[in-house]
Amino acid sequence: MPAPGRPDGADGPPDAVDTGTGTDLPEAAGRRLESGSFSSGLTVPDFAACLQMGLRPVALVQGFCVMQWGWYGAGSPYSRGLSPYAFGSGGAPRGVYSESYSCPHGGMVYSNEHRIWGQNYQQPWVEEAWAEGFGSAYSRLVEEAGAVGAHGVIGVVDSTRHLADMNVTEFHILGTAVVVEDAAPAPGATPWTTYLAGQRLAKLVEAGYMPVSVVAALSSVRVWAYCVTEMLMEGRPLSTFGGGGYMPVAEVEQLSRAHLAARSLVREHVRGKLGHDTLQGALIVANTQRLAQGDEVIECALRGTRVRRFKDFDPLPPPRPTVRLT
């Protein structure tokens, strides 16, 4: 087996490579990328399609960033009543989503726990932290691709996961760096990137589009439930005077609007990165973190490949009908 550990016999992670170009890749990345053989994370069908398109795999490239994510730290109050924005929709800075809800019970407070107000608000500090983590990992992936002289990176896969016991979140992006056969090397140029690979990428190019870069963003909206939202979410009847109560069949408006806002915000974030290009293969994933008594944090991640038209669409031949024998 190849000897484990560093060639210099030291243990522990070595210092980052400093090539004088501001790189922060680890030393092992430099050694691996100098290897004579190529590596590819593509499946075999994708690998075959890649060769057919005139793309030659060069190396599996990757980027990481481990972030401490202060979900409920400074500027992100967990406790009710510590909103960074003043009560009311006018309290948030310009361009930041916030709206408030008042108790409809005419000021008749049933108990000290009755929630006479609620608020939905965007958490830009969470969104910025996510963008910073993703951006750092992505820039390292592109840096590795640039180091092997790649024109682009295909089959990009990204993941975000919480590391057990460590209270930190890791951003991980990897893909296969490729060189366009018969094309001149492009020293200094930023490699293009795409989530697509194989026949899906081939079809995109046949359709007259070229990939520019992967694009991803996150929106985060915090919900502080007011009395109506709390009662509907907790399955408790809305109280009426004289005892008893009723359980209406009704939309939970505060939550609906929060989900709508989260999706709208993430689309805005991504749209701001597209310029005059379009987004291909958009995938939106909503994640809801339930806290208590109707309170929630809603996160929406949107990712896709930014593409640019470079030629007119060549009509494809009509498909051949087939029957699978399985």
Partner 1 sequence: MTQPQDLPKEAGHRLEELEHGLFTSDLSVNEFLLIKEAGFHPLGFVMGSSIYHTGIQARRWNKSQELTKLTEAMYNARELAMTRMEEEADQLGADGVVGVRLDVNYYEWGRDAAEFIAVGTAVKAEDGVSHRNALGKPFTSDLSGQDFWTIMQTGYVPQGLVMGTCVFHIAHRGLGQALGSMGQNVELPNFTQALYEARELAMTRMQDEANQLGATGIVGVRLEEKSHQWGSHTIEFLSLGTAVTKSAGDVTLPKPITVISLDN
Using CB under 8 A, which residues numbered 50 to 79 contact partner 1?
51-52, 57, 60, 62, 64-70, 73-75
Which of 19, 43, 240, 256 binds partner 1 (CB under 8 A)? It is 43
- Supply the minimum distance, in Å, between the C-beta of residue 183 and partner 1: 19
Q: Which is nearer to partner 1, 244 or 319 (CB)?
A: 319
**Contact call for residue 40 and partner 1 (CB under 8 A):** yes
DSSP labels for 257-281? HHHHHHHHHHHHHHHHHHTT-EEEE
Task: Provide the 3-class DSSP secondary structure of residue 133.
Answer: helix
**Contact call for residue 163 and partner 1 (CB under 8 A):** yes
Residues between 1 and 20 that touch partner 1 (CB under 8 A): 1-2, 4-5, 11-14, 16
What's 292's DSSP letter? S
Q: Is 63 exposed, middle or buried (0-12, 13-18, 19+ CB in 10 A)?
A: buried
**Contact call for residue 129 and partner 1 (CB under 8 A):** yes
Q: How many angstroms separate the first and last alpha carbons of the chain?
A: 43
Q: Stretches 78-86, 278-286, 291-299, 318-326: which one binds partner 1 (CB under 8 A)?
A: 318-326
Spatial separation of the C-alpha atoms in residues 228 and 232, rounded to whole Å: 6
**Contact call for residue 124 and partner 1 (CB under 8 A):** no
Q: Which is nearer to partner 1, 75 or 237 (CB)?
A: 75
Q: How many residues bind partner 1 (CB under 8 A)?
A: 72
**In this structure, are residues 127 and 269 in contact, taking their beta carbons and an 8 Å threshold?**
yes
Which of 82, 164, 184, 250 binds partner 1 (CB under 8 A)? It is 164
Neighbours of 119 (CB within 10 A): 25
